[in-house]
């Protein structure tokens, strides 16, 4: 009997998104590596350093406990919630009730999903920065929300243009995504911006969600949106251990807000997943106690050293950059003779065998920018610099 072609089709929502850029591109990089080309990746923000020793020791100790391997509460263990509350009080001066105003997350991507499901009906709108983290857009589309972009521009220090926002039709907007310190641009968090975001939220009944995983990286004065009076009543903040504690694979983050918002998000989360392994939760609680010296060495000293090398790469590629950027990336504007950023990044990949990120993946306002990750050993960044110098230093 002749086989008939399959007639099964995927859900219509898959037409709204494409495969994540890094998911697709890393397949190509893996193929090139398999061919022996030794690609140096300066593309993804995955810290290459380990967590603190006591974090790892706690994980190992709990893993040996025969009673620690059962299901855990979706709302997180009391130890982890208290550690998160203590962390916000210690570093940001923000008081959060560990029982009602904090929800541990399996990373910020999960939080984006749960928060959108909790607040946005299909067909309603969300405000997404351009440029911005692609998951704000892709998850919104998968969940049936309409994405409305708002511009971030270099001339404004990559801060929101509130005049532009006030002139938009906001009648169907339910959420606004913000991300300071900003990724991909390195724009710093500003107290004035946070104050205006809270006022904007209060005036329009829009929940502002600030994604805040980069506040410790190359930054001596971490800020939180929740430091602003009234923010907790109308805003939400995500934070993550991936960047600040060298724990990207552990998938531990948090959501902080008022008790009602947290309860709505937990209502969604409890129907989707179960609690994280107890060993990870207790080890994360220990990591939140890391000393100031640990954070300075991991989050400032090391990245400062690597940042100087990344700046030399930018100069070699004749890209312009703001030296006041913070975070674990360096964002630079490409020379005028390139048609777009991908033209440059593809040359760097195939000629110098270095993988860097074209800014178009973050939105149309990133089309003439590239991003270099600082998440590679110093020796590898130095090797990348030498390779790029060999091919690009004499170009204009």
pLDDT digits (tens, 9 = 90+) for 328-345: 999 999 999 999 999 999
What is the model's pLDDT at position 365?
96
Strands 125-130 and 173-178, sheet pairing = parallel
User: Is 187 buried (19+), middle (13-18) or exposed (0-12) by CB count in 10 A?
Assistant: buried
Lowest mean pLDDT across 13-22, 78-87, 160-169, 308-317: 13-22
Q: How far apart are CA 71 and CA 265, in angstroms?
A: 20
Closest to 178 (Cα-Cα) out of 165, 170, 87 = 165
The mean pLDDT of 165-192, rounded to a whole number, is 96
The model carries a pTM of 0.92
Q: How far apart are CA 137 and CA 126, in angstroms?
A: 9
Indicate whether 6 pLDDT > 90: no
What is the model's pLDDT at position 3?
65
Render pLDDT for 15-70 as a digit per residue (tens, 0 to 9): 887 777 888 888 988 999 899 999 999 998 999 999 999 999 999 999 999 999 99
Tell me if 314 sits within 8 A of 344, measured CB to CB.
no
**Across-strand partners of 370?**
332, 358
Assigned token pair, 193: 């911006």
What is the model's pLDDT at position 9?
86
Q: How far apart are CA 206 and CA 232, in angstroms?
A: 13
Render pLDDT for 91-108 as a digit per residue (tens, 0 to 9): 999 999 999 999 999 988
Q: Which residues of 19-55 are buried (b: 16+ CB within 10 A; e: fewer)?
A: eeebeebbeebeebeeeeeebbbbbbbebeeebbeeb
What is the model's pLDDT at position 364?
95
Share of the chain above pLDDT 90, in %: 89
Assign 4 a pLDDT band (cuts: 50, 70, 90).
Answer: low
Assign 394 a pLDDT band (cuts: 50, 70, 90).
Answer: low
Assign 396 a pLDDT band (cuts: 50, 70, 90).
Answer: low
Indicate whether 317 pLDDT > 70: yes
Tell me if 225 sits within 8 A of 252, measured CB to CB.
no
What is the model's pLDDT at position 395?
58
Tell me if 185 sits within 8 A of 135, measured CB to CB.
no
Assign 12 a pLDDT band (cuts: 50, 70, 90).
Answer: confident
Render pLDDT for 127-146 as a digit per residue (tens, 0 to 9): 999 999 999 999 999 999 99
Q: How far apart are CA 376 and CA 42, in angstroms?
A: 7
When the pLDDT of each residue in the chain is averaged and rounded to a whole number, the result is: 94
SS (H, E, C) the chain: CCCCCCCCCCCHHHHHCCCCHHHHHHHHHHHHHHCCCCCEECCCCCCCCCCCHHHHHHHHHHHCCCCCCCCCCCCCCHHHHHHHHHHHHHHHCCCCCCCCCEEEECCHHHHHHHHHHHHCCCCCEEEEEECCCHHHHHHHHHCCCEEEEEEECHHHCCCECHHHHHCCCCCCEEEEEECCCCCCCCCCCCHHHHHHHHHHHHHHCCEEEEECCCCCCCCCCCCCHHHCCCHHHHEEEEEEHHHHCCCHHHCCEEEECCHHHHHHHHHHHCCCCCCCCHHHHHHHHHHCCCCHHHHHHHHHHHHHHHHHHHHHHHHHCCCEECCCCCCCEEEEECCCCCCCHHHHHHHHHHHHCEECEEHHHHCHHHCCEEEEECCCCHHHHHHHHHHHHHHHCCCC
What is the model's pLDDT at position 342?
93
Assign 2 a pLDDT band (cuts: 50, 70, 90).
Answer: low
Render pLDDT for 190-231 as a digit per residue (tens, 0 to 9): 999 999 999 999 999 999 999 999 999 999 999 999 999 999
Q: How far apart are CA 284 and CA 79, in angstroms?
A: 9
What is the model's pLDDT at position 20?
78
The mean pLDDT of 352-365, rounded to a whole number, is 95
Assigned token pair, 350: 């195939």
SS (H, E, C) 206-227: CEEEEECCCCCCCCCCCCCHHH
Rg (CA), the chain: 22
What is the model's pLDDT at position 26?
87
The mean pLDDT of 351-368, rounded to a whole number, is 95
Category of 5 on φ-ψ map: left (φ > 0), alpha (ψ -120 to 50) or beta: beta
Indicate whether 393 pLDDT > 70: no
Assign 5 a pLDDT band (cuts: 50, 70, 90).
Answer: low
The domains found in the chain, sorted by start residue, are: 12-50+293-392 (3.90.1150.10), 53-287 (3.40.640.10)
The mean pLDDT of 273-277, rounded to a whole number, is 90
């Amino acid at each position: 009997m002749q086989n008939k072609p399959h007639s099964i089709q995927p859900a219509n929502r898959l037409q709204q998104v494409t495969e994540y850029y890094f998911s697709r591109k890393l397949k190509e990089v893996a193929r090139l590596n398999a061919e022996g080309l030794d690609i140096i990746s300066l593309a993804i923000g995955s810290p290459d350093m380990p967590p603190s020793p006591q974090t790892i020791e706690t994980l190992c100790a709990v893993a040996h406990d025969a009673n620690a391997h059962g299901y855990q509460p979706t709302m997180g263990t009391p130890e982890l919630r208290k550690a998160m509350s203590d962390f916000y009080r210690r570093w940001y001066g923000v008081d959060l009730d560990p029982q009602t105003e904090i929800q541990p997350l399996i990373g910020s991507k999960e939080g984006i999903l749960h928060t959108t499901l909790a607040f946005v009906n299909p067909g309603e709108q969300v405000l997404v920065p351009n440029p911005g983290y692609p998951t704000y857009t892709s998850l919104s589309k998968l969940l049936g929300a309409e994405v409305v972009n708002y511009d971030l521009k270099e001339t404004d220090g990559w801060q929101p243009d509130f005049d532009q926002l006030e002139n938009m039709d906001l009648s169907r907007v339910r959420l606004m995504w913000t991300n300071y310190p900003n990724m991909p641009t390195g724009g710093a968090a500003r107290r004035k911006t946070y104050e205006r975001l809270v006022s904007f939220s209060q005036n329009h009944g829009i929940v502002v969600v600030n994604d805040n995983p980069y506040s410790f990286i190359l930054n001596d004065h971490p800020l939180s949106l929740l430091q602003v009076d009234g923010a907790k009543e109308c805003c939400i903040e995500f934070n993550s251990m991936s960047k600040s504690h060298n724990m990207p694979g552990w998938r531990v983050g948090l959501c902080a807000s008022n008790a009602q918002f947290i309860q709505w998000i937990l209502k969604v989360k409890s129907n989707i997943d179960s609690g994280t392994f107890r060993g990870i939760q207790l080890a994360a609680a220990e990591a939140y106690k890391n000393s100031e010296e640990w954070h300075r060495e991991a989050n400032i000293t090391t990245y400062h050293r690597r940042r100087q090398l990344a700046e030399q790469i930018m100069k070699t590629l004749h890209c312009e950059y703001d030296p006041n950027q913070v975070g674990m990336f360096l964002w630079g504007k490409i020379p005028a003779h390139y048609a777009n950023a991908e033209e440059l990044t593809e040359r760097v990949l195939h000629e110098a065998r270095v993988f860097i990120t074209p800014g178009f993946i973050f939105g149309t306002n990133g089309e003439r920018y590239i991003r270099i990750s600082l998440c590679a050993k110093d020796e590898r960044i130095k090797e990348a610099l030498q390779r790029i110098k060999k091919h690009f230093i004499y170009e204009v």
